[in-house]
Amino acid sequence: MTDKTHHRADKQEENISPDVLRAALRRYPVSPPGPFFDMINDAMAGAMMYAVIMAAVEMKLFDTLQHPQNQDAVCTDKKKNEMMWIICEILTSHGILIQNKDGSYSNSKMASVYLQSTSPYFQSAYLEKQRAFLLDLWMPLSQRVLSGPKQYTREYFFETMSLPSMAQNALCGRLQAVMSHIVNLSEFSSCKSALDIGGGHGLYAIALAEHNPTLTCVVQDLPGVIGFTKDYIKTFGMTDRVTTLAGDFMTDSIGSGYDIILSSSNPSGRIPKMVIKIADALHSGGYFITIQSRGERKDSLFYQLEWLLWTFEGVTEDKREWKKDAHFPDEEYLTALLQNGFRIIELIEIPDPYKKDNTVVMLITQKK
């Protein structure tokens, strides 16, 4: 026994009398042990499965297995070979890898799409964000509850954790679904300029430009975010038609003369006082499109707790005041749209598959 183990035993003896401890030697627990250990072991199995997937990504196993490979080709180091074989077997048992008739391994379609670094849908940033939250929020949960939420700088949170993950998640269906409705708008093909307000990664502006070759787009966001936006624009080869505008949309100019203004998952598209600013920036006949969480759908208790476990440095207000779960669009917001000359074209549910059964609301309006 280690000193640490002795310490724990001593603690137990301090809290429970010797008579009760001796009685436990003769009596079975009043609650069957099976369900308890099943619960803990199932939870650990989920954590271990995540660790296996993360390790396989870091070791570029899915890149190696885009073509069938035998065990020796997967790992030439004999000492590590058995561990790699077990990892391959675990991934195969969950349908992430396929074992072929000749015994070789290869990627399943899911692995090729989401876990292979050469795929445009690669989810490495999402996996990294999950790991960061596990280490920062969940493992030290008692510390978070007793001492307060983890504090991130805005720059670190957005550039390192939030925006890369959001960009990769958006490409898994949400962005494509949004664009399928925009391109069918009667005047979309004649639009010449667009603003992605609070656009972060800029993928919506990039997608608008991709669908309309005569459209030039601006991505507006905070100065600390725009560098990340520029990287995405360059990566997608759109530097000639998508530019950036640094500023705070609440206090700074957002420009003017736009045919389309789009807001996705940020307050610019859900708070009434922004409506007049957006209306002033649009041409008559221009479209304002906002994609937001509907609000009344409650996340699982785990996600509700996770939301309270972190905040930004310098923020003193309770995160519950951020109104993340407020209904959208509410009567006040719809009234603000109508009072500022907008007509409602369509309200659409858009799948957001990074959470099971999750949807967002897409509100399409047009300035009269």
Mean local confidence (pLDDT), 263-271: 94
Six-digit token string for 172: 């898994």
Mean local confidence (pLDDT), 322-347: 88
Quick: pLDDT tens for 284-313. 999 999 999 887 556 689 988 999 999 999
pLDDT of res. 155:
85
pLDDT of res. 75:
75
pLDDT of res. 154:
86
Cα distances from 116 to residues 96, 170, 364, in angstroms, run 11, 17, 35
Three-class SS state of 241? coil
pLDDT of res. 189:
96
User: Going by DSSP bridges, is the β-strand pair 242-246/282-293 parallel, antiparallel, or unpaired?
Assistant: unpaired
Task: Name the strand (E) or helix (H) holding 252.
Answer: none
pLDDT of res. 118:
97
pLDDT of res. 355:
82
Mean local confidence (pLDDT), 221-242: 95
Quick: pLDDT tens for 166-185. 999 999 999 999 999 999 99
DSSP 303-336: HHHHHHSEEETT--S-GGGG-TT--SS-HHHHHH
Task: Name the strand (E) or helix (H) holding 363.
Answer: strand 359-367
pLDDT of res. 1:
46
Contact 278, 261 (CB under 8 A): yes
Instruction: Decide if pLDDT at 265 tops 80.
Output: yes
Instruction: Decide if pLDDT at 8 tops 80.
Output: no
In the beta sheet, which residues pair with residue 262? 196, 289
Instruction: Decide if pLDDT at 6 tops 70.
Output: no
Instruction: Decide if pLDDT at 335 tops 70.
Output: yes
Domains of the chain plus CATH, in order, are 3-114 (1.10.10.10), 154-367 (3.40.50.150)
Residue 73 binned pLDDT confidence (cut-offs 50, 70, 90): confident
Contact 296, 327 (CB under 8 A): yes
Six-digit token string for 193: 């300029």
Spatial CA neighbour of 174 closest among 142, 147, 198, 207: 207
